[in-house]
Amino acid sequence: MRHVPDPILRQKTRRVTQIPANMKQYTADMVETMHAEHGVGLAANQVGGLQKVCVIQLPEWNEPLILINPEIIRREGEREVEEGCLSIPGYRGTVKRSQRVRARALDLNGKLIRIKAEGLLAQALEHETDHLNGVLYIDHLVSKDSFWKISYEPDPPEPEEEGDSNGAAQASAPVVEAEKK
Rounded mean pLDDT of 25-30? 98
Spatial distance between the Cα atoms of 53 and 43, rounded to a whole number of angstroms: 6
Q: Which of 32, 76, 126, 128 is catalytic?
A: 128
Residue 146 lies in a domain: yes
Query: Which residue segment(s) compose the domain that 133 sits in?
Result: 7-151+170-179
- Report which of 112, 136, 120 is spatially closest to residue 82, judged by C-alpha positions: 120
Residue 85 lies in a domain: yes
Residue 158 lies in a domain: no
Split into its structural domains, the chain has a count of 1
Please report, for the domain that includes residue 32, its CATH number: 3.90.45.10
- Report which of 81, 78, 76, 64 is spatially closest to residue 30, judged by C-alpha positions: 64
Residue 165 lies in a domain: no
Rounded mean pLDDT of 20-24? 97
- Report which of 78, 116, 83 is spatially closest to residue 98, judged by C-alpha positions: 78
pLDDT of residue 151: 77
To the query of whether residue 161 is one of the catalytic residues in this protein, the response is no
| Cα atoms found within 13 Å of the Cα of residue 30, Cβ hemisphere only | 29
Mean pLDDT of the chain: 89
Residue 105 lies in a domain: yes
What letter does residue 119 receive in the DSSP assignment? Answer: H
Residue 161 lies in a domain: no
First CA to last CA distance, the chain: 32
Residue 37 lies in a domain: yes
- Tell whether the model's pLDDT for residue 171 goes beyond 90: no
Instruction: For 85-141, write each residue's pLDDT tens digit.
Output: 999 999 999 999 999 999 999 999 999 999 999 999 999 999 999 999 999 999 999
> Does 173 or 23 have the greater pLDDT score?
23
